[in-house]
């Protein structure tokens, strides 16, 4: 029945989005609402077209098989890296997260010696960039609120 499931689901999501946006646009002053109304209308129209099309044909999207475990772990560590940046400070967080990611990506297929080598070079790289950004480019990288509290 539905030939193109992805398009169908996308279409439904977009229709919901359009409704929300129409609601938002309602509360705007005249000038500021012109474009929102106009574009949202076009979006609604296109979403409907997409849904209709999903019954007739499928335009294939290239998808390779995905290693879900790795992706999941990557996303978790990535997010944690960002989350802890301001709490445990840039250097510490980055060194830990960076090396964790090496582990995640190596999985079981890479030998320990190699992993250790990666970690050493990687950490040097992290430190180099850290000091480069901090002292040369004068970017105030997070110091770490938790560490500051520990000192007090």
Among residues 2, 16, 19, 42, the one that binds another protein under rule CB under 8 A: 42
- Cα distances from 46 to residues 49, 52, 84, in angstroms, run 5, 10, 41
Q: Hey, which residues between 11 and 40 contact another protein (CB under 8 A)?
A: 14, 21, 24, 28-36, 39-40
Q: Which is nearer to another protein, 1 or 22 (CB)?
A: 22
Q: Hey, which residues between 52 and 81 contact another protein (CB under 8 A)?
A: 53, 59, 61, 63-68, 70-71, 74-75, 78-79, 81
Q: Which is nearer to another protein, 19 or 71 (CB)?
A: 71
Q: Hey, which residues between 109 and 148 contact another protein (CB under 8 A)?
A: 110, 115, 118, 121-122, 124-142
């Amino acid at each position: 029945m539905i030939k193109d499931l992805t398009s169908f689901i996308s279409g439904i999501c977009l229709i919901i989005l359009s409704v929300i946006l129409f609601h938002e646009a309602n509360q705007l002053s005249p000038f500021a609402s012109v474009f929102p109304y106009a574009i949202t209308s076009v979006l609604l129209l296109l979403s409907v077209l997409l849904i209709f099309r999903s019954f007739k044909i499928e335009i294939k999207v290239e998808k390779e098989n995905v290693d879900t475990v790795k992706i999941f772990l990557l996303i978790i560590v990535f997010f944690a890296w960002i989350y802890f940046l301001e709490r445990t400070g840039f250097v510490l967080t980055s060194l830990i997260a960076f090396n964790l990611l090496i582990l995640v990506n190596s999985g079981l297929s890479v030998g320990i010696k190699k992993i250790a080598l990666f970690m050493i070079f990687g950490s040097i790289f992290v430190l180099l960039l850290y000091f480069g950004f901090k002292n040369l480019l004068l970017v105030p990288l997070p110091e770490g609120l938790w560490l500051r509290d520990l000192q007090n």
